[in-house]
Amino acid sequence: MDARLYASRLGGTAAVPPSKSAAHRAVLCAALADGVSHITNIEYSQDIRATLQAAAQLGARIEEGPDGVTITGRGSSGGFVTVTRPVFCNESGSTLRFMIPLFSLTAQKVHFTGAGRLFDRPQAVYQMLFDRQGLRFEQAPDGITVFGRLRPGGFTLPGDVSSQFISGLLFAAPLMESESTIEVLPPYESRSYVDLTLAALQQFGVKVTARARKNGSVLYRIAAPQRYTACDLAIEGDYSQAAFLAVLGCVAGGITVTGLAPDSRQGDKVILDILKRCGGKIKTTSDGYAFARSLLRATEIDLADCPDLGPVLFTLGCFCSGETVIHNAGRLRMKESDRIEAMQTELQKMGARITVDGDDVHITGVALHAPEEPLSGHNDHRVVMALAVAACAAGLPACILGAGAVNKSWPAFWDVLRALGGKVEWE
């Protein structure tokens, strides 16, 4: 599905979707819990459906409804069910990396499959941990196979890898036979995502202690065995998705975003600070923020703790006077697409001035022009949305190929854009 955008005047109020990061964690904890959990304000994106299906294979009973999902957890007394088929993770890195340690606890041979570039993403951390315990971990182009039960003990992980590895161990460690520790070495990147995991564990009755050490590392101590207990909760709004509307609002003006918790632990909440540093005019409302048209100036941005903001920050840089510098962008190369190459290639079709120096990206603000050829979404939901924001903010017509990629995380994105006044046609 391709989308053709036309110049249009934008403005109005839009609710952001629920946090995908929080939803993954809540579904997983509920699936492991004793009792019945009700999770509301959840969007059934492709990634969340992957986690729901994997949770069912762990033994949870899933009942989807229009207002939320009811999950009857497997509990701690019944043991794991027999895994009879591969665990399909689609393109969800969170699903894959959260589930690998948990499925290892079944002590069964489990095969994980997926789609897109999922198995191009590095899994060396788990390979190392499984190898050290003499367990089977095999990665092939079509998936990953594990066999053997992870044992408790002391785990040491580098801090400059995906936080999903740390979270995966945190979910599994309370179900092991005895206490474990997880030491995360400096530099500790994307720690905010681990904080979201700790918050979810706490909500579902699991205790984890954290302590900073003199060598700069962080040591997590997880008593075991522990029980997850059922919990009812509503998923908070997603700051990583709100960022697209926030940038659009600060460039085009007149957009209010609702459904955001001001005390959120989401690392992507930093989009507010970044926009303020750029001169963005932002007002707090009763349940979100209002973004007014602003004269934006360049700033330096460290992407280490907020990699999901990468694509929309490329777009932001195009509308800032001066040179925007994005540091620590290297992890963007191993997402659903090579997001550095994708955003550079597509924005340059609109006249953007972007250079890449290792893991640093330099963007010089210039007037964009309508692209002479279609923009490719690179089968990447965040690339598609960032390109849509660029075209709409600049008031330019554009055709985006593969616009349906938004279904991975925000199926209603195009409907929201239309409700704000955007003119979109499908081809």
The CATH number of the domain holding residue 391 is 3.65.10.10
Whether residue 315 has pLDDT greater than 80: yes
Question: Looking at the structure, do residues 355 and 307 belong to the same domain, yes or no?
Answer: yes
Percent of the chain at pLDDT > 70 equals 99
- Domain finish residue from 182, 200, 227: 227
Q: Is 163 annotated as a binding residue?
A: yes
Q: Is 283 annotated as a binding residue?
A: no
Count: domains in the chain:
2
pLDDT digits (tens, 9 = 90+) for 255-301: 999 999 999 999 999 999 999 999 999 999 999 999 999 999 999 99
Q: Would the pTM of this model clear 0.85, i.e. be above it?
A: yes
Question: Looking at the structure, do residues 199 and 303 belong to the same domain, yes or no?
Answer: no
Q: What's the pLDDT score for residue 116?
A: 93
Q: What's the pLDDT score for residue 67?
A: 86
Q: Is 335 annotated as a binding residue?
A: yes
Q: Is 164 annotated as a binding residue?
A: yes
Q: Is 382 annotated as a binding residue?
A: yes
Q: What's the pLDDT score for residue 76?
A: 64
- Domain finish residue from 182, 201, 227: 227
Sheet of 180-185: strand order equals: 154-158, 180-185, 218-222, 208-212
Question: Looking at the structure, do residues 377 and 311 belong to the same domain, yes or no?
Answer: yes
DSSP-assigned beta bridge partners for residue 327: 302
- Domain finish residue from 178, 199, 227: 227
Question: Looking at the structure, do residues 215 and 295 belong to the same domain, yes or no?
Answer: no
- Angstrom distances, CA of residue 115 to CA of 90, 93, 109, 141, 346: 5, 10, 21, 10, 23
Catalytic, 160? Answer no
Percent of the chain at pLDDT > 90 equals 95
Is 224 in contact with 180 (CB distance < 8 Å)?
Answer: yes
Whether residue 33 has pLDDT greater than 80: yes
Rounded to an integer, what distance in angstroms lies between the CA atom of residue 2 and that of residue 184?
A: 43
Whether residue 364 has pLDDT greater than 80: yes
Helix or strand run (H / E) with residue 9: none
Helix or strand run (H / E) with residue 6: strand 3-6
Question: Looking at the structure, do residues 12 and 67 belong to the same domain, yes or no?
Answer: no
Question: Looking at the structure, do residues 9 and 119 belong to the same domain, yes or no?
Answer: no
Omega prior to 307 cis, within 30 of 0: no
More confident: 401 or 75: 401
Q: Is 349 annotated as a binding residue?
A: no
Question: Looking at the structure, do residues 275 and 406 belong to the same domain, yes or no?
Answer: yes
Question: Looking at the structure, do residues 199 and 62 belong to the same domain, yes or no?
Answer: yes
Question: Looking at the structure, do residues 355 and 218 belong to the same domain, yes or no?
Answer: no
The single residue of 34, 47, 308, 338 carrying the catalytic annotation is 308
pLDDT band, very low/low/confident/very high, at 81 (cuts 50, 70, 90): confident
Whether residue 78 has pLDDT greater than 70: no
Q: Is 21 annotated as a binding residue?
A: yes
Question: Looking at the structure, do residues 211 and 281 belong to the same domain, yes or no?
Answer: no
Question: Looking at the structure, do residues 255 and 128 belong to the same domain, yes or no?
Answer: no
**Mean of all residue pLDDT scores within the chain:** 96
Q: Is 79 annotated as a binding residue?
A: no
Strands (E), 260-397: 281-285, 288-292, 300-302, 323-327, 353-357, 360-364, 375-376
In terms of residue numbers, what domain contains 290? 3-17+236-426
Q: Is 46 annotated as a binding residue?
A: no
Among residues 420, 17, 13, 42, the alpha carbon closest in space to that of 257 is found at 13
Whether residue 167 has pLDDT greater than 90: yes
Whether residue 77 has pLDDT greater than 80: no
Q: Which residues of 287-314 are buried (b: 16+ CB within 10 A; e: fewer)?
A: ebbbbebbebebbebebbbbbbbbbbbb
Question: Looking at the structure, do residues 125 and 189 belong to the same domain, yes or no?
Answer: yes
